Amino acid sequence: MAIPHLPPSVSTAEYHKLFILPVQLRIVNVLRQWLESSFFDFDDKLIERVRSFLTDVSTNNVSDKVASFAVQLLKTLNTQVAAQEKEKREQQDDQKSISSSDGSAAESLKQEDVVKQHEDQEEKQEKREEDDRRMSVARVSPLDMLEQNAEESMHMQVKMHSAVEGLRVQPLTSIYPIDPQDRDPEMMPDLISKLFYFSPMEIAEQITFFDFHYYRQIKPFELMNQRWNKHRELSPNVTILIERFNEVSLWSSTMILSQKTAKSRALMWQRLISIAECLQRLNNFNSLMAMLASFNKSAVYRLRLTSDLLSVQSKHWFENAMNLMQTEGSYRNYREALRTARTPVLPYLGVYLTDLTFIEDGNKDMMDGLINFRKRQLIYGIIADIQMYQQTRYFINPNPIILAIIHSLPFKDEDSLYRVSLIREPRGAYAAHQAGVEQSS
């Protein structure tokens, strides 16, 4: 084929070498980067188009170098397709663990199931006490032991959380010591009350398993152009986690206000604080923040008769947790804790979304007619952080009974919660109580 405007001094072979081959190699490099770094862009139709193109390039009359690159790209494409299919199967397995734990599984929680859970709980308690004694004698940090065996570290980190942190699992009779007559059945159905027969760590683990399932599926395109606000259908996993955050927060507040007496509310509040403490030990900062947000809702925060009955230990932990997750300095304390946390970790997604919003709103897409690459670099840095914590999974065995319950947590909206709060502790009730105490003394 004749090449137009080819200078007489340049032969066709030289033109191919100097001009065509570099362009072809650049195209090959772009395809390689696309396949390796952004394979989430590829649907079945695009995969077939790229495969057809690379097959044509590798078999048509092109240079040997370009043909060899095309063959390599075909291998990369096939490898990525296989990895994508494997990931889909894993996600389906996780989803089955969640979806199979629907109402039918939860309804099967009979009294004998509770007794069995109690027996299992006692066995776990004995095992944890034995672990504590063994570790105190050896005077070796369990975390140091984990570092010696990297392959087992993630599994053991979750398995030994109770022993490492000194978590005490209470027997069944003290796990849920609230008088059943104090429970409002409309706000806390009988099925939900059975959730609290499980230990705080077991509940925290299943909340983490549930939420990390969706965090791990977040794709970079969901985080572009504030899609979680403007085009939620294009950001499904981020949207689910935002909704889940609000549900857990409202559910926690609902559980406190479901109790009719101040003593029972305080016991429930302490129970939820124990779950939040376990979430922190699991490095589940997202669900931890949801629980803290529930304790700070006006409907709960105003319950002074209730909060006065909280244990000193619960109050102390709550104060420290609030200091950790405070917004001062753009979540400075939390960011430092996240930086030093051992994986697996479920970060607080709200901080990332806030950072992305500031970057999007505070920087122009174009500057002087050119693409603002600095803005793209900042966005890439946030997305890379999110992806980093997606790599290490939690080794938590799904509990179908707990998952069935937390899959559809009951909750009231904030207005309803505040109305209930005024019923539980009317305005002026605390002052009247204090006056009565002073008179009696």
Mean pLDDT of 375-400: 92
Residue 155 vs residue 255, higher pLDDT: 255
Q: pLDDT band at 311, cuts 50/70/90?
A: very high
Reference 268, options 303, 243, 319, 316; nearest CA is 303
CB-based contact 264:234 (threshold 8 Å):
no
Mean pLDDT of 327-349: 94
Q: How many CB atoms lie within 10 A of CB 278?
A: 25
Given this model, what pLDDT does residue 179 score?
57
Residues 98, 90, 104: CA angle, nearest 5 degrees: 20
Assess whether pLDDT exceeds 80 at residue 434: no
Per domain, the residue ranges of the chain are: 21-29+46-87, 128-166, 182-440
Given this model, what pLDDT does residue 121 score?
58
- pLDDT tens by residue, 277-305: 999 999 999 999 999 999 999 999 999 99
Long-range contacts of 332-336 (CB under 8 A, 24+ apart): 334/285
Given this model, what pLDDT does residue 280 score?
96
Place of tokens 């603002």: 372
> Helix 44-59 vs helix 64-99: angle between axes, to the nearest 10 degrees?
160
- pLDDT tens by residue, 153-206: 333 333 333 332 332 333 333 344 555 566 676 777 776 777 878 899 999 999
Given this model, what pLDDT does residue 22 score?
84
Please state which CATH class domain 182-440 belongs to.
Answer: mainly alpha
User: Which of 48-62, 82-96, 157-171, 265-279 tops mean pLDDT?
Assistant: 265-279
Q: pLDDT band at 374, cuts 50/70/90?
A: very high
Written as one string, the DSSP assignment of 1-59 is -PPTT--TTS-HHHHIIIIIHHHHHHHHHHHHHHHHH-GGG--HHHHHHHHHHHHHHHH
Q: What is the pTM of this model?
A: 0.68
Given this model, what pLDDT does residue 403 score?
86
Given this model, what pLDDT does residue 90 score?
78
Q: How far apart are CA 49 and CA 58, in angstroms?
A: 14
Reference 72, options 101, 132, 112, 32; nearest CA is 32
Backbone angles phi, psi at 219, to 5 degrees: -105, 150
Cα distances (angstroms) measured from residue 271 to each of 15, 128, 203, 310: 76, 20, 11, 10
Given this model, what pLDDT does residue 5 score?
62
Backbone angles phi, psi at 363, to 5 degrees: -135, 135
Q: How far apart are CA 88 and CA 91, in angstroms?
A: 5
Given this model, what pLDDT does residue 181 score?
63
Given this model, what pLDDT does residue 70 score?
86
Given this model, what pLDDT does residue 377 score?
92
